[in-house]
Amino acid sequence: MDIEAVIISLLREHHEVISGEELSREFNISRVAIWKHIENLRQIGYKIEAEAHRGYRFISAPDRVLAMEIRYGLKTRFIGHDIRAYEEVSSTNDIALDLARREAKEGTVVIAESQSSGRGRMGRSWFSPFGKGLWASIIFYPELLPNQLGRMNLVFGVALAEAIKKETSLPVELKWPNDVMVSGKKAGGILIEMSAEMDQVKYLVVGLGLNVNVPLSDFPKHLRESASSLSQEKGNSIDRLSLIREILRQIENYYLFFKEKGITPIREKWLVLSKTLGHYLKVELPARTIYGQAVDVDEEGALLLRTEHGLQERITAGDIYFIS
């Protein structure tokens, strides 16, 4: 851990003032060097009070997705042990895909305050304004056949929904394949990308986009009807740091649970969270639009639709709209 992360965690846990002298003894560096580190921390946005002749006192941490902030109090076995945090990137998925190609550790997290070319599913762009959302990607090396990728949609969808519910108490639902919905509006989504050979997934990047504290008026006009944010639905702003820690925790839990127990119990949870079954849907496929009733979501994450012509279609990619 770098020295500034240790200084800040010491100050944070020590509710009283810590003197410069004590810190300089602890780290075996001069008091001037300590003061320089404190100044650096202040530059990043930490509020640290200096009391004359007494020392330093922690006041607050910045609302920034800094690696050391996310790691603070994160009790995971492997996810987030390596966190790459940026102010702005093109897309966190691009960076994570590149890291995975170079065999970065499983569980490596890439996170940014904003993305200039955030990607959504079906070739759409993903609105990723600075400092108001969680735009993050995580690397996995699962033992999976390429055609089993849909399972991971179920695993990570459930994990994300459970984490948001736990942190915000909002009535989160999942909309197939994996939109995070609150009161019928989209507040987040998941984009899973992979590299695979014929019979084995080589690596997988799970991209999470969550509109946390985005005011409705910030959304581009074409999204204002259909999109929302957690703060908008909750009526107050939400602590992004404690939310991302909980998301990483739940993602690890469900990933390990999936490895141990398989997809069956996770699909059950997904079905409870999604409330998709039974509804009449308009389904936009990459090349056509069909209508029908959702009869099931199978263990590969595919949607089974009984069409208006009485046929059953198995859909692996598309967008759904509820008709009734």
Tell me if 191 contacts ligand BTN by CB under 6 A.
yes
Tell me if 126 contacts ligand BTN by CB under 6 A.
yes
Tell me if 119 contacts ligand BTN by CB under 6 A.
yes
- Only one of the segments 28-36, 123-131, 165-173, 286-294 lies at the binding site for ligand BTN (rule: CB under 6 A); that segment is 123-131
In residues, how long is the chain?
Answer: 324
Q: Quick one: CA dihedral 101, 106, 108, 109, positive or negative? A: positive
Q: How far apart are CA 123 and CA 209, in angstroms?
A: 15
According to CB under 6 A, which one of 121, 166, 279, 306 is a site residue for ligand BTN? 121
Tell me if 190 contacts ligand BTN by CB under 6 A.
yes
Q: How far apart are CA 251 and CA 188, in angstroms?
A: 15
Tell me if 209 contacts ligand BTN by CB under 6 A.
yes
Provide Rg for the chain, Cα atoms.
Answer: 22
66-95 residues near ligand BTN, rule: CB under 6 A? 91-93
Tell me if 189 contacts ligand BTN by CB under 6 A.
yes
| Residue type present at position 199 | D
Q: Which is nearer to ligand BTN, 42 or 124 (CB)?
A: 124
Shortest CA distance to 318 belongs to which of 96, 128, 150, 126? Answer: 150
Distance of CA 48 to the CA centre of its chain: 29
Tell me if 115 contacts ligand BTN by CB under 6 A.
yes
Q: How many residues bind ligand BTN (CB under 6 A)?
A: 21
Q: Quick one: CA dihedral 40, 113, 69, 17, positive or negative? A: positive
Query: Least CB distance from residue 163 to ligand BTN, whole Å?
Result: 15
- Only one of the segments 7-15, 134-142, 231-239, 279-287 lies at the binding site for ligand BTN (rule: CB under 6 A); that segment is 134-142
Q: How far apart are CA 119 and CA 137, in angstroms?
A: 12
Q: How far apart are CA 118 and CA 128, in angstroms?
A: 6
Q: Which residues make up the interface to ligand BTN (CB under 6 A)?
A: 91-93, 115, 118-121, 124, 126, 128, 135-137, 179, 189-191, 207-209
